[in-house]
């Protein structure tokens, strides 16, 4: 598939539409395309020129969110950085952006094929860093990587949805990883 690059003004419009849709859908999942256009400060024709319908808009939002998460995970160097460093960097960065995609990442509709493919790539990188953490002794040798990932994602989601807006992402990441790796029992 050949992806045609949008002009800068068109990219700004698309970003404004997606940001407005995220805000409105979070408050009212049945918000109309007209309400989204108004909140984005664009003409209704603009929104319809970019997105055929609500489903196409939501699918584009999912793809954008998962691409952003994939870039964050990749920037943390999951294949080469020490596992704890990669986990901390990715976690802190995800905690900064995930609240901005709260509606989209909640999976309100079946995910599109392209977004699902990016999500699978992110999960594969996550599993790889947890496998490296196990292999280097950060996790117990018998640790089930899939289970560790599920626990991590649950902690990540809960933290992203309940932390105050002004919380320090690095402190949250440290707390989340401490809980994941060492639990809450007295040491």
CA pair distance 54, 32, nearest whole angstrom = 8
Scored b (16 or more CB within 10 A) or e, 58-67 reads bbbbbbbbbe
Superfamily assignment of 61-182 in CATH? Answer: Tetracycline Repressor, domain 2 (1.10.357.10)
Scored b (16 or more CB within 10 A) or e, 140-156 reads eeeeebeebbeebeebb
- Give pLDDT, residue 140: 95
Average pLDDT, consecutive stretches of 10 residues, N- to C-terminus, the chain (187 residues): 60 91 93 94 90 92 95 96 97 92 78 91 96 96 96 94 90 96 85
Scored b (16 or more CB within 10 A) or e, 165-180 reads eeeebeebbebbbeeb
- Give pLDDT, residue 85: 97
- Give pLDDT, residue 108: 61
- The residue ranges of every structural domain in the chain are 1-51, 61-182
End-to-end CA gap in the chain = 53
CB contact set of 50 (below 8 Å; sequence gap of 6+): 10, 13, 14, 17
- Give pLDDT, residue 117: 94
SS3 (DSSP) at 167: coil
Contact 92, 176 (CB under 8 A): no
- Model confidence over 75-125: pLDDT tens digits? 999 999 999 999 999 999 999 998 888 888 886 666 789 999 999 999 999
CA pair distance 140, 184, nearest whole angstrom = 17
- Give pLDDT, residue 4: 54
Q: Which CATH fold topology does 1-51 show? A: Arc Repressor Mutant, subunit A (1.10.10)
Sequence-ordered strand ranges (E) for 17-129: none
pTM for the model: 0.87
């Amino acid at each position: 598939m050949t992806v045609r690059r949008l002009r800068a003004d068109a990219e700004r419009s698309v970003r404004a539409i997606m940001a407005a849709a995220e805000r409105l859908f979070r408050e009212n999942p049945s918000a109309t395309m007209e309400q989204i256009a108004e909140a984005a400060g664009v003409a209704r024709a603009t929104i319809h020129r970019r997105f055929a319908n609500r489903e196409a808009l939501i699918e584009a939002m999912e793809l954008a969110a998962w691409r952003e998460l994939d870039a964050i995970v990749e920037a943390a160097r999951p294949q080469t950085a020490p596992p704890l460093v990669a986990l901390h960097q990715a976690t802190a960065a995800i905690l900064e952006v995930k609240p901005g995609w709260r509606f989209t990442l909640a999976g309100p509709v079946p995910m599109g094929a392209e977004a699902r493919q990016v999500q699978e790539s992110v999960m594969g990188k996550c599993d790889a860093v947890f496998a490296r953490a196990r292999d280097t002794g950060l996790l117990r040798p018998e640790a089930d990587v899939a289970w560790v990932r599920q626990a991590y994602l649950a902690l990540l989601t809960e933290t992203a949805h309940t932390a105050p807006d002004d919380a320090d992402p690095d402190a949250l990441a440290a707390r989340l990883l401490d809980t994941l790796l060492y639990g809450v029992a007295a040491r």
